[in-house]
Amino acid sequence: MIAYHIKEKPVHTLIAVGGVMSNSLLRNRLETYCKRNRMTLHVAQPQYSVDNATGNAFGAAYLQESRGSS
């Protein structure tokens, strides 16, 4: 999904949060992928990534802020 998105709309930064980001294997693979594609990766520490609601909350807050809503 990330590779498809980058091909369609190139980005330089990836922010990954939520339950699966506490998985060290996935984190390492994303780090490798981002380095290979010259992207900056931002992830929360594993202890703050154990609940998928974190990712949903971040996404909702980002969307609201980007729309200029208060």
Q: How many CB atoms lie within 10 A of CB 54?
A: 17
The predicted pLDDT at position 44 comes to 80
pLDDT tens readout for residues 3-53: 888 888 888 998 887 777 888 898 899 999 999 999 999 888 777 767 767
Model-level pTM? 0.64
Q: How many CB atoms lie within 10 A of CB 62?
A: 11
Tokens of 15: 């922010």
Name the pLDDT band for 70 (thresholds 50, 70, 90).
Answer: low
The residues pairing with 40 across neighbouring beta strands, listed in sequence order, are: 13
Provide CB contacts within 8 A for 30, sequence distance 6+.
Answer: 14, 16, 41, 43
The predicted pLDDT at position 59 comes to 78
Distance in angstroms (rounded) separating the CA atoms of residues 24 and 43? 11
